Structure 1
Amino acid sequence: MTSTQDGEGRKNSRRLSHLLTRTPKRSSVIAGEIRSWIITEGLEPGDSLPVEKEMITAFGASRATIREALKELEVQGLVRMKTGPNGGPIVTGSSVLESIQAVQNFCYFEKVTIDDIYELRSTIEVQLMYSVVGHIDEETFDRLDAQIELSSIPAHDERSRRRQREAEFEFHTIIASCVPNRLLLLMIEVIVGILVNATARESAAHELHGEWSRENSRYHADIVAALRREDAETAARLMREHMEIAHRHLKLMYGDLSLEAIALTAPERN
């Protein structure tokens, strides 16, 4: 090793040592305490937090430090500042759209592939079949049937093709909305959100879209029939097959879909 390399190595070691021993910023410590308080008090979106003056007294901190702490929580999507005479910090919670955006960013920076996404999706969609049996009411089954019908009708223009793709993905989130495990629901909504945002807008350019929709329609109908019978094993088997075929179709149609397209396509707000 040269003396230059050796010197650079010692410099990097000192930097790392400094990062590991650095005392957290006062504002970050306060942000963590506020977050813990929100959780332990069971606050929900829309609930108000103490006003700035009360926080200054409670934490013995300056106005600038309290504002920096609240800004950190605002960036995290946990609070927002309400303006007006009765303004102040209120709890917002984390939305699905924010979760989708965060995972999109992760996909890009961690070099996640379509194969990676479908490996995870297949696992949780199959588990969903076991978890949701017995929790779907007749009104929800009617909604699922409506999504299946949209997929079964040939689409002849860009708008109808896009709506079909959205309906096919929505089918999965409708089922997930009935599952008692809300974390499982969130994961499915995030993954489906990434896929629909990255692919639905391009569906009109692919002649294979009609074949994929017919395949989706058949599987969706068979899955719903199994769920109506509360036959979890059959529903899980069908979902596993459905995910394998959907994965193949996606790679065939969007094999050149870049990580940038996954990461940078903004989630659409309905």
Structure 2
Amino acid sequence: MTAASADKPRRSRPVRVADAIKDWVVERNLQKGDRLPSEAELMERFGMAKGTIREAMRILEAQGLIETRTGPGGGSFIGEVTADRAKALLANYFYFNELSVADIYQLRRVLEPELAASLAGKLSDDQLAALEAVVAQYPEPAKTAEEERDQHVASLAFHRRLANFSTNPLLAFVVSFMGRILTDLTVYRQLYDPPNPELYEKGLAYQTDLIAALRDGRAEDARAIMRAHMETAEALMQRQEAQVLRRFIAE
């Protein structure tokens, strides 16, 4: 046994069987709603006892990959992992990795300008109105830490909403997920206290200008506005992060 394999955590038998079932599903290109073999058939196919198969199926069900139905016509069927569930699982993973503001913005600075450019001139009136409705939630600077927190959350919702308009599902997922974890980071590290009027004023101006560029189909302007927005937001958020850290140390 090599040192690397010795350090690698041993995976339980049900976990290995769950992975084998997933591989089997992918190989056969099964789709949502397709029925899986019965428990007896799975036992025979994978050469495992009933208890192991049942535990493997519970793992897959917890992941949202299968659905179990009872009664006539019941059984196990291919499920669908929703975007929200996938983001929740990933958020749990990154929660223990001590992400920083810089980590998140390293990706935001690359992806979000391209997202904005790709959507210029392609959004419907309803989609543009939806973005304007988000901006309308923060018409003036926050007066309290609680208002600042709500404004941060709403401002990040603007970016998630924009991402969801993308026709590229991977780009939409990644940008939306970054908005989610930055929201979580802002809330549990209290990066909204004290209120930051400069972040508010510049963020509002960038988002307003961006909507105009998207409406007019000005792709290069949309890219430049979003890039400046990300660079400014990163600098101000890092300043806020440092201020919170200093306050924590002082306490």
TM class by shorter chain equals: 0.7 to 0.9
Q: 1:52 to 1:171 in 2, by over 3 A?
A: same
Provide the residue aligned with 1:239 in structure 2. 226
Match of 1:211 in 2: 198
Q: Distance in 2 between matches of 1:34 and 1:117?
A: 34
- Aligned 1:141-180 pairs, distance under 5 A: 141-157=128-144, 159-180=146-167
Distance in 1 (alpha carbons) for counterparts of 2:35 and 2:87 = 23
- Corresponding residue for 1:129? 116
User: What is the match of residue 84 of structure 2?
Assistant: 96
Q: Which runs of 5+ in 2 are unaligned?
A: 246-251
Deviation, structure 1 residue 115: 1.3
Contact conserved, 2:148 with 2:195, CA < 8 A, in 1?
Answer: no
- Counterpart for residue 65 of structure 2: 79
**How many Å separate the matches in 1 of 2:2 and 2:146?**
58
The CA deviation at 1:148 is 1.6
Q: Which runs of 4+ in 1 moved over 6 A?
A: none
Q: Deviations over 1:17-66 (max 9, x none)?
A: 6679x9x876455423421344443423x665334234224434321221
How far did residue 161 of structure 1 move?
3.2
Q: Relative to 1, partners in 2 of residues 1:14 and 1:244: Cα closer, same or farther, differing over 3 Å?
A: closer
Residues 89/232 of structure 1: CA separation in 2 closer, same or farther (3 Å cut):
same
The aligned residue for residue 43 of structure 1 is 31
**Gap change, CA 1:37 and 1:154, over 3 Å in 2:** same
Provide Cα deviations, 1:226-255, integer angstroms capped at 9, x if missing partner: 111111111000111000110011112222
Task: State percent identity of aligned pairs.
Answer: 27
| CA-atom RMSD in angstroms | 3.1
Unaligned runs of 5+ in 1: 1-12, 259-270
